């Protein structure tokens, strides 16, 4: 084998390297010693070290777009290397995907000075890397963030943001500082819970060795969108009660959470809506009235109730059958809902052919007008199979000192009065 001289080896290495930078992290500066033609349009010959890091390590891998601002709190730490470091970074250069090997070498007897080398790997290596990344894609999608915590030393290390890189970030940061760095990544209403449950004293008092706990919240992803995540704290299983070392992980549960919420919404609708007519059921409209009365105690606003009852509905069922009766109920409710559109009025089926409306932000004159329009419309309408029918309507006000029972008693008396007056009319009870 040929004996290579130092100069020959240096020449081989120089030909293999696409860029060489000298860097001062303290002064936030870099200067290029060499840049190949294919990298010339991607990075300037000199400039801000932070901006260089953004291009190399802190961008979205599919389009080189900037990662959301909250994650960029890690930039100053990412640019500080503990010893020699080698990692692969994915770049898009002139519209093409490139896999670049980055090597960082601390300058001896200096603080924060480095020599950084970039080697653009060939297409075969890029394709192999894509295949390897696909194999761990499920893990990356599941765990967005992980790190190791030693509370006694107040140190967080082996930090990994899997959306940025498969590799750990080569720096340590105080755990007390890290909590403040990451808090703004959470939904504002979740920040207090995060700070409480990630507090060192809370972790010490709530986790025995070998145990873990988790909680769900919303956190920004790299694109700046809030997604549902599960935060997991696990204490290492040691025999010492004074050994407070933890593993922290952020699990992506967004898709499963959305599916769960969708299912819960379906069950909520089933539990709160009448299966036949689709409006609130008895329990839900009663709750609506109770909440409205509670609100009246804090802020005095007009609040009225309407109650509709189909006249002689039993005869419809007896003469035409219950299936026709059900169709009549559905059409009756649709007519009411159409007339209520545009008003802040909630309607629910109280039972049988009786329907109650809670009317917000309307005076009695307006409520009476709406009730009369509905009554007249029903009386004039020709229903399928049965032809004409009518309804009776009761109106009542609600006072802040009422209970649900008091308010409904007044409403029931108004409806009874309308029926006693010959039906197909409106009666009002005000106190």
Residue 186 is given by DSSP the state: B
Tell me what pLDDT residue 13 has: 79
Q: How far is CA 209 from CA 205, 206, 233, 236, in A?
A: 11, 10, 11, 6
The rounded distance, in Å, linking the Cα atoms of 158 and 343 is 58
Q: What is the chain's Cα-based Rg?
A: 35
Residues 250 and 230 sit within 8 Å (Cβ to Cβ): yes
- Count of CB atoms within 10 A of residue 347's CB? 22
**C-alpha dihedral sign at 187, 190, 192, 195:** negative
Q: How many CB atoms lie within 10 A of CB 283?
A: 11
Q: Which helix (H) or strand (E) holds 71?
A: none
Q: Are the C-beta atoms of 104 and 79 separated by less than 8 Å? A: no
**Bridge partners of 19?**
35, 118
Q: Which residues of the chain have pLDDT under 50?
A: 1, 125-126, 129-140, 163-166, 168
| Residue of 85, 80, 76 lying closest to 110 (CA atoms) | 80
Q: CA-CA-CA-CA torsion for 362, 364, 370, 375, nearest 10 degrees?
A: 150
Contact 88, 102 (CB under 8 A): yes
Q: Which two tokens stand for residue 333?
A: 């409710």
pLDDT at res. 135: 43
Q: Which residues contact 410 (CB under 8 A, 6 or more apart)?
A: 305, 396, 397, 402, 429, 431
Give the pairing type, strands 155-161 and 173-174.
Answer: antiparallel
The residue among 231, 254, 235 whose CA lies nearest residue 246 is 235
Q: Which residues contact 132 (CB under 8 A, 6 or more apart)?
A: none
Pairing of strands 426-429, 391-397: parallel
How confident is the model at residue 11, as a pLDDT?
A: 81
Nearest to 358 by CA among 285, 426, 279: 285
Say what the pLDDT of residue 183 is: 92
Q: What pLDDT is attached to residue 320?
A: 96
**Rounded Cα gap, residues 171 and 157, in angstroms:** 7
Looking at residue 297, its pLDDT comes to 85
């Amino acid at each position: 084998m040929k004996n290579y001289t130092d100069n020959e080896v240096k020449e081989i290495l120089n030909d293999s390297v696409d860029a060489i930078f000298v860097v001062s992290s303290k002064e936030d500066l870099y200067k290029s010693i060499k840049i190949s033609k294919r990298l010339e349009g991607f990075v300037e010959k000199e400039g801000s070290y932070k901006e260089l890091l953004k291009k190399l390590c802190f961008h979205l891998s599919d389009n080189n777009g900037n990662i959301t601002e909250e994650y960029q709190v890690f930039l100053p730490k990412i640019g500080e290397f503990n010893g020699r470091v080698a990692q692969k970074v994915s770049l898009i250069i002139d519209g093409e995907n490139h896999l670049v090997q980055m090597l960082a070498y601390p300058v001896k007897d200096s603080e924060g000075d480095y020599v950084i080398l970039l080697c653009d790997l060939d297409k075969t290596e890029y394709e192999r890397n894509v295949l390897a990344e696909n194999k761990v894609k499920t893990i990356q999608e599941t765990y967005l963030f992980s790190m190791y915590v030693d509370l006694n030393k107040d140190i967080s290390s082996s930090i990994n943001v899997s959306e940025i890189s498969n590799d750990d970030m080569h720096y340590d940061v105080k755990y007390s500082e890290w909590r403040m760095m990451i808090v703004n990544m959470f939904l504002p209403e979740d920040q207090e819970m995060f700070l409480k449950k990630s507090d060192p004293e809370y972790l010490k008092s709530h986790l025995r060795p070998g145990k873990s706990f988790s909680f769900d919240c919303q956190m920004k992803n790299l694109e700046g969108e809030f997604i549902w995540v599960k935060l997991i704290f696990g204490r290492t299983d040691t025999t010492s009660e004074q050994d407070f070392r933890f593993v922290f992980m952020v699990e992506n549960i967004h898709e499963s959470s959305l599916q769960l919420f969708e299912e819960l919404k379906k069950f909520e609708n089933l539990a709160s809506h009448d299966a036949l007519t689709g409006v609130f059921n008895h329990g839900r409209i009663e709750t609506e009235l109770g909440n409205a009365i509670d609100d009246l105690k804090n802020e005095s606003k007009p609040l009225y109730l309407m109650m509709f009852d189909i006249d002689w509905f039993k005869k419809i069922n007896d003469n035409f059958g219950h299936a026709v009766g059900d169709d009549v109920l559905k059409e009756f409710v649709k007519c009411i809902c159409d007339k209520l559109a545009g008003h802040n009025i909630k309607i629910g089926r109280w039972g049988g052919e009786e329907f109650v409306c809670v009317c917000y932000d309307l005076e009695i004159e307006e409520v009476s007008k709406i009730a009369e329009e509905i009554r007249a419309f029903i009386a004039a309408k020709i229903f399928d199979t049965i032809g004409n029918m009518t309804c009776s309507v009761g109106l009542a006000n609600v006072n802040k000192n009422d209970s649900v029972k008091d308010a409904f008693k007044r409403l029931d008396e108004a409806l009874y009065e309308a029926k006693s007056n010959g039906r197909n009319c409106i009666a009002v009870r005000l106190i």
